[in-house]
Chain A
């Protein structure tokens, strides 16, 4: 019998979290180290967003940084927010504070220049974050409908097993979650190139289909404008060693993970709110960490990440479930692997049987079970940059 609920944290804004973090947000690279030290002092729930931006940015690049940090401040996996500012940067600490408070989360700011240096700012920040953690510890998980979930599907370090086993198995989980009223987000526009006709044919509206084709064409044009062969990065050297020949082949295998029946409802920008039930495509680059960072920013509470060659990527606030269809990787990268679906290839395990296991794991993880990436402290975070640093 398939579960219809999981144990989550109901938020005041109506959304549901699968984790309850104290999030320590540096406004700028200059406050990243202090943020990480504060978060490290808060066992279990403290997590930071160290990043390289926040100043020296103009126009769209600045907006993406602001929007991404704000998206994490309102995220349902976050229970409380401590913003760590330097004091002279572009990112506005007050805006991040306001965003958290608008979503009824306890929030505060520590500014390094105001506090008087690293030591004082770290001490003040730890004291505030400990109070927040104490408050959050009284929150209880309760039964929540699967319809409240937004699942990010992602692949990285792909090989021939990704398109044969792990991606189609995750695709069946995506189909079932959408059947249950939930949502799925797919990113990595470059890895839709060559398969966009299949997703566009499943679009809920002509507008969504046109928007998908438009962003894939834009990414292709950007690669063309460099006057270079996209094969320098797509497929990656490891993909090619693994047997993938062209970006079209990689994309056809990769898009399986978004399901076979899901309808493309919407196409949104990087870190923009995911508001449609069903399948949303987010305009993210193919680089794993930037891609996951954006989709979690959009509101995804949990990530299913397939890999052929193995990869450690996690996220500061969302659990990342690592799934491989390669039996050798399941052995050699056992530390990083949550689920082995290689039996689909080696033992004839039915895709639906593998999907049953994946779905049960999704419910367990959303109810609090830690993933391999969480146990290992993998909290990779990178905001997509579109322009040079000024």
Chain B
């Protein structure tokens, strides 16, 4: 079993199939990735640097927008990615929607 899986060639994240430890190097889908954070099983890791405001892509489609700069090998989750959908909190605050 591979330690991580890349679902679509368009994706900028992979899914960890095992817990990944910082300082290790993982190979999958023809690429090698130096892991920067502890990545729990089933969570996502950045395949390349993702700048703040850039979309995060999995299954070949947008799953949200980076709210901070994300380094290759970093954990990608709710702390650095926000959904652009159903954000009544942002509408109320008069802020633009993420990704808008």
Residues in chain A within 8 A of chain B (CB atoms): 159-161, 163-164, 190, 193-195, 197-198, 219-220, 223-231, 234, 240, 242-243, 245-249, 252-253, 345-348
Nearest Cβ on chain B to A25's Cβ, whole angstroms = 36
CB <8 Å contact, A226 and B88:
yes
Distance between A309 CB and nearest chain B CB, rounded to angstroms: 10
Which chain A residue lies CB-closest to B17?
A345
Q: Closest residue to B84 on the A side, CB-wise?
A: A248
CB distance A163 to B59 under 8 Å?
yes
Contact yes or no, B89 A227, CB < 8 A: yes
Q: Does B34 make an interface contact (CB < 8 A)?
A: no
Minimal beta-carbon separation of B100 from chain A (angstroms): 13
State whether A164 touches B5 (Cβ < 8 A): yes
Bound form: Cα–Cα A242–B42 in Å: 6
Q: Quick check: B42 and A243 within 8 Å, CB to CB?
A: yes
Q: List 18 A-B contacts (CB under 8 A).
A: A159-B42, A164-B5, A164-B15, A194-B63, A220-B86, A227-B88, A228-B88, A229-B89, A234-B86, A243-B43, A245-B64, A245-B83, A246-B85, A248-B83, A249-B64, A252-B61, A253-B59, A347-B1
CB distance B61 to A160 under 8 Å? no
Q: Enumerate chain A residues within 8 angstroms of B82, measured Cβ to Cβ.
A: 246
* In contact, B87 and A252 (Cβ under 8 angstroms): no
CA distance A161 to B91 in the complex (A): 33
Cβ contact within 8 Å between B43 and A230? no
Contact of A243 among B15, B64, B88, B90 (CB under 8 A): B15
Contact A160 B42 (CB under 8 A): yes
CB of B62 within 8 Å of the partner chain: yes
Question: B10 CB to closest chain A CB, in angstroms?
Answer: 12
Per the 8 Å Cβ criterion, residues 1-51 of B in contact with A are: 1, 5, 7, 15-17, 40-44
Known A223-B88, A243-B77; contact A248-B64, beta-carbon cutoff 8 A: yes
Question: Chain A nearest CB: distance from B32 CB in Å?
Answer: 21
Say yes or no: B85 contacts A345, CB within 8 Å: no
Q: Specify the chain A residue showing the minimal Cβ separation from B99.
A: A248
Given contacts A160-B43, A240-B78, A243-B44, contact A249 B89 (CB under 8 A): no
Contact A231 B91 (CB under 8 A): no
Q: Is the interface of B mostly helix, strand, loop or mixed?
A: mixed
A-B complex: 4 closest residue pairs judged by Cβ atoms:
A230-B86, A160-B42, A243-B42, A246-B83
Nearest CB of B to A340, in Å: 15
CB-CB under 8 A from A245, the residues of chain B are 44, 56, 63-64, 76-78, 81, 83
Of listed B56, B77, B85, residue having the most chain A CB within 10 A? B85
**With known contacts A160-B15, A198-B61, A248–B85 Cβ distance under 8 A:** yes
Residues in B whose Cβ lies below 8 Å from that of A163: 59
Chain B interface residues (CB < 8 Å from chain A): 1, 5, 7, 15-17, 40-44, 56, 58-59, 61-64, 76-78, 81-92
* A220 cross-chain contacts in B, Cβ below 8 A: 85-86
A228 CB contacts on chain B under 8 angstroms: 88-89
The residue that A194 contacts in the complex, of B7, B16, B77, B85, with Cβ under 8 A, is: B85
Contact assessment for A247 and B85 in the assembled complex, using a CB-CB cutoff below 8 Å: yes
Q: Which residues of A contact B87 (CB under 8 A)?
A: 224, 229-230
Please name all residues of chain A whose beta carbon is closer than 8 Å to the beta carbon of B63 when the two chains form the complex. Answer: 194, 245-246, 248-249, 252
Please name the residue on chain A nearest to B76 by beta carbon.
Answer: A245
A247 touches B86 (CB 8 A): yes
How long is the Cα–Cα vector from A248 to B42 in the complex, in angstroms? 16
Question: Among the listed A193, A230, A247, which residue makes an inter-chain contact with B88, where contact means beta carbons less than 8 Å apart?
Answer: A230
User: Shortest CB–CB separation between residue B82 and chain A, in angstroms?
Assistant: 7
Given contacts A245-B81, A246-B64, A246-B81, contact A229 B42 (CB under 8 A): no
**Chain A residues within an 8 Å CB radius of B44:** 243, 245
Extra 17 A-B pairs, beta carbons < 8 Å, given A163-B59, A249-B58 = A190-B86, A194-B63, A227-B92, A229-B88, A229-B89, A230-B83, A230-B85, A230-B88, A240-B77, A243-B15, A243-B43, A243-B77, A245-B56, A247-B85, A248-B62, A252-B63, A346-B1
A159-B17 Cα distance, complex, nearest whole Å: 12
Cβ distance B71 to chain A, nearest Cβ, rounded Å: 17
B88/A225 in contact, CB under 8 A: yes
Question: How far is the CB of A68 from the nearest CB of chain B, in Å?
Answer: 26
